[in-house]
Amino acid sequence: MILKQGEKIHVVHRRFFEKEIRRHFVGIVEGYEGGVARVVGHVFSLDRTEGTFERRPEERTRIISLSSGENFVNVIPDFVDLGKIHYKQVKKVVRVTDGSAWHLDLSESPFA
């Protein structure tokens, strides 16, 4: 099985247009079947005036396709506190962290 119930994930929604808002989702898998996951969590979107990702306050339930090519999914370790997830800039890299030693660098460039 690709995803298990209870796993924590970070999803980057692919943009199709240059000016489209950058959206991410952080949540917990409620179920997974046939390449589709039902997840509960929070949307993070880029605030263009501040240049930072902001967490939307309302919890959402999303159905996310893993086979569509529109979403990039990262599995987050069990010990990460999703309630403390935030984004911060470290040099040229955008980093997702909960403030512990764990982090996820979103830049895949080796020169960042």
Q: Are 10 and 74 in contact (CB under 8 A)?
A: yes
Q: Compute, in degrees rounded to 10, the torsion defined by CA atoms 40, 52, 12, 26.
A: -20
pLDDT tens sequence across 16-26: 566 656 778 99
Nearest to 55 by CA among 81, 80, 87: 87
Distance CA 1, CA 36 (A): 12
pTM: predicted TM-score of the whole model, two decimal places:
0.85
Is residue 111's pLDDT more than 70? no
Alpha-carbon separation of residue 63 from 8, 31, 38 (angstroms): 15, 10, 5
